[in-house]
Amino acid sequence: MAFKDLREFIDVLEKKGLLKRITVEVDAELEITEITDRVVKSGGPALLFENVKGYDIPVLINAFGSEERVRIALGVDSLDDIGRDLVRILQPTDLPVTFLDKLKALPRLAELSSFLPKTVRTGPCKEVIIRDKPSLAKFPVLKCWPEDAGRFITLPLVCTRDPETGHRNVGMYRLQVFDDRTTGMHWHIHKDGADHYRTAERKGQRLEVAVALGADPTVIYAATAPMPKGLDEFLLAGFIRKQPVELVKCETVDIEVPAHAEIVLEGYVDLGERRREGPFGDHTGYYSLADDYPVFHITCITHRRKPIYPTIVVGRPPMEDTYLGKVTERVFLPLIQMVLPEIVDMNFPLEGVFHNCVVVSIKKHFPGQSRKVMNALWGMGQMMFTKLIIVVDEDVNVQNMSEVWWRVFNNIDPRRDLVFADGPLDVLDHASPHAVFGSKMGIDATRKGPLDGHTREWPRDIVMDAATKALVNRKWSSYGF
């Protein structure tokens, strides 16, 4: 089902027993984080804190903190369904050659166009409009970890437009609250939002920005997705929910935001202005270092009556963002397979915090194929940040890291099977000697043969024969287990 807004999602979670309301008074500084951290790591429910000290606005957190809740949020029985559906539209089995073929392709194009975002005159996010001295002080923004530099908005949908092309970008970039009307804008150098800002600076103009909090869950996910530059995240959300996302024009900036958002912050980022932002307890499990970032100035705040403040706590995995990362893994696997059809499956282990490790299984047909796959992956969008790529054979379950490590520890000759390369790294990588650039490693843990330079016989896996397995299956209850 497609949720109209965040509230419908909350209602469904509650009816399914997947949400807990906390009515005892809690502090937005550290206490909510410690509660949430324990709940996430124990596999607990979404949390709605209804009595936050000093505020009359409830806090929603851990809404995406399990695979079940993520599947409910996106309206699918399996996360793999989304990627397969994307490929069905983007890569039809029969390429249109004749005029009749082109006519047959029209329904697919019409289906895709039906998911384009739709601008409406107004929406619930405009129920309250504050132009005169808008202030963040009314919102229960969390301070998550003891050494954080302050309070951080951690689940924002940051909307900008390219000043030259007009292309929209919706990204999730944390906002450190500096005071009632300004925040940091944590745009990493590689992100599309940062590219829009660089273009604005080059043109000598400020960049208009709108930040939505609490849209429907597909929009929240889409803001985290590594979309190719120029593709609309609202279109991806519409595709997932099978209904267009309704947008409304902001009051003081020329940007559209989700009409059913809980809270909208409007404003601008001035050219050349920087302010020290951080440190911040990040999804790597370490504090990201303080650095200078652009400053977001708020010119207007709109929100629903009795808004809900949605947020997320990141830190040492597993955390809530782990499950959003798994969505990206499953959604984008079929798209990667369009370029690399030999890939069978892919896993971003949670300990790799998205950009540090990826494991892929391949159908290996020729020597050097693992290296070909490694280099191709390093050349794909945000896969360029991956520090470690492990390649295994197609019969290896990449979702079982115990099996993966067994293959790695036994199948590699380090001199032959380790590949080193240099390239861009994620801004949050702290291990390289230089920021945003360093070394990467590939591990070829596939079976080797003479064409790989392995002249000895490769041993077979130990596997019980089928007849004995069937015999034991039939007699299992008689063994007394």
Band the pLDDT of 102: cuts 50, 70, 90.
low
- Are 3 and 216 in contact by the 8 Å Cβ rule? The answer is yes
Does 223 reside within a domain? yes
Do 390 and 306 lie in one domain? The reply is no
Do 192 and 245 lie in one domain? The reply is yes
Do 273 and 346 lie in one domain? The reply is no
Do 282 and 145 lie in one domain? The reply is yes
CA nearest to 265, candidates 206, 213, 207, 187: 213
CB count in 10 Å sphere of residue 254: 10
Last residue of a domain, one of 310, 325, 357: 310
- Are 69 and 63 in contact by the 8 Å Cβ rule? The answer is yes
Q: Which pLDDT score, from 0 to 100, does residue 1 have?
A: 67
Does 125 reside within a domain? yes
Do 91 and 176 lie in one domain? The reply is yes
DSSP string over 102-161: HHHHHHHHHHHHTTS-EE-S--GGGSEEE-SS--GGGS-PPB-STT-SS-EE-S-EEEEE
Q: Say which CATH number the domain at 394 has.
A: 3.40.1670.10
173-200 confidence digits (pLDDT tens): 999 999 999 999 999 999 999 999 999 9
Q: Which pLDDT score, from 0 to 100, does residue 92 have?
A: 56
Collapse the DSSP code of 420 into the 3-class scheme (helix H, G, I; strand E, B; otherwise coil) and give the result: strand
- Are 211 and 264 in contact by the 8 Å Cβ rule? The answer is yes
Q: Which pLDDT score, from 0 to 100, does residue 468 have?
A: 98
* Beta-strand relationship, 343-347 and 357-362: antiparallel
Q: Which pLDDT score, from 0 to 100, does residue 94 have?
A: 53
Write the single-letter amino acid at 435.
A
Write the single-letter amino acid at 210.
A
If you search the block for the tokens 């995995």, which residue do you land on? 317
Name the strands in the sheet holding 388-393, side by side, starting at the edge strand that comes first in the sequence. Answer: 343-347, 357-362, 388-393, 437-444, 418-424
- Are 142 and 59 in contact by the 8 Å Cβ rule? The answer is yes
- Which one of 37, 282, 426, 452 is the catalytic residue? 282
Q: Say which CATH number the domain at 98 has.
A: 2.30.110.10
Angstrom distance (rounded) from CA 461 to CA 184:
55
| Residue 87, C-beta contacts closer than 8 angstroms, at least 6 positions apart | 334, 335, 337, 338
Does 143 reside within a domain? yes
Cα distances (Å, whole numbers) of residue 301 to 267, 435, 481: 9, 36, 64
Per-residue tokens: 106: 């029209």
Last residue of a domain, one of 310, 332, 352: 310
Q: Which pLDDT score, from 0 to 100, does residue 96 have?
A: 54
Angstrom distance (rounded) from CA 173 to CA 293:
11
Residue 453 above 80 pLDDT? Answer: yes
Average confidence (pLDDT) over 355-380: 96
Do 143 and 223 lie in one domain? The reply is yes
**Residue 303: which domain range?**
81-310
Do 281 and 429 lie in one domain? The reply is no
If you search the block for the tokens 């039809």, which residue do you land on? 92
Angstrom distance (rounded) from CA 117 to CA 244:
5
Band the pLDDT of 86: cuts 50, 70, 90.
confident
Say whether the peptide bond before residue 310 is cis (omega within 30 degrees of 0): no
Does 60 reside within a domain? no
Percent of the chain with pLDDT over 90: 90
Average confidence (pLDDT) over 96-124: 73
Burial 220-247 (b: 16+ CB within 10 A, else e): bbbbbbebeeeebbbbbbbbbbebbbbb
CA nearest to 157, candidates 146, 173, 168: 173
Do 243 and 375 lie in one domain? The reply is no
Do 349 and 270 lie in one domain? The reply is no
Do 255 and 197 lie in one domain? The reply is yes
Say whether the peptide bond before residue 318 is cis (omega within 30 degrees of 0): yes
Angstrom distance (rounded) from CA 85 to CA 82:
5
457-474 confidence digits (pLDDT tens): 999 999 999 999 999 999
Element (H, E) at 406: helix 401-411
DSSP string over 341-397: TTEEEEE--GGGTTTSEEEEEE---STTHHHHHHHHHHTSGGGGG-SEEEEEETTS-
- Are 382 and 425 in contact by the 8 Å Cβ rule? The answer is no
Q: Which pLDDT score, from 0 to 100, does residue 461 have?
A: 94
Does 414 reside within a domain? yes
273-309 confidence digits (pLDDT tens): 999 999 999 999 999 999 999 999 999 999 999 999 9
Mean pLDDT of the chain: 94
Does 317 reside within a domain? no
| Residue 440, C-beta contacts closer than 8 angstroms, at least 6 positions apart | 378, 386, 387, 388, 389, 420, 421, 422, 423, 425
Does 272 reside within a domain? yes
Q: Is 85 a catalytic residue?
A: no
213-237 confidence digits (pLDDT tens): 999 999 999 999 998 888 899 999 9
Percent of the chain with pLDDT over 70: 96
Count of structural domains within the chain? 2
CA nearest to 326, candidates 399, 376, 233: 399
Can you name the residues that pair with 277 across neighbouring β-strands? Answer: 291
Do 261 and 183 lie in one domain? The reply is yes
Residue 477 above 60 pLDDT? Answer: yes
Does 353 reside within a domain? yes
If you search the block for the tokens 């047909």, which residue do you land on? 365
Do 274 and 205 lie in one domain? The reply is yes
Angstrom distance (rounded) from CA 321 to CA 302:
27
* DSSP 8-class letter at 56: S
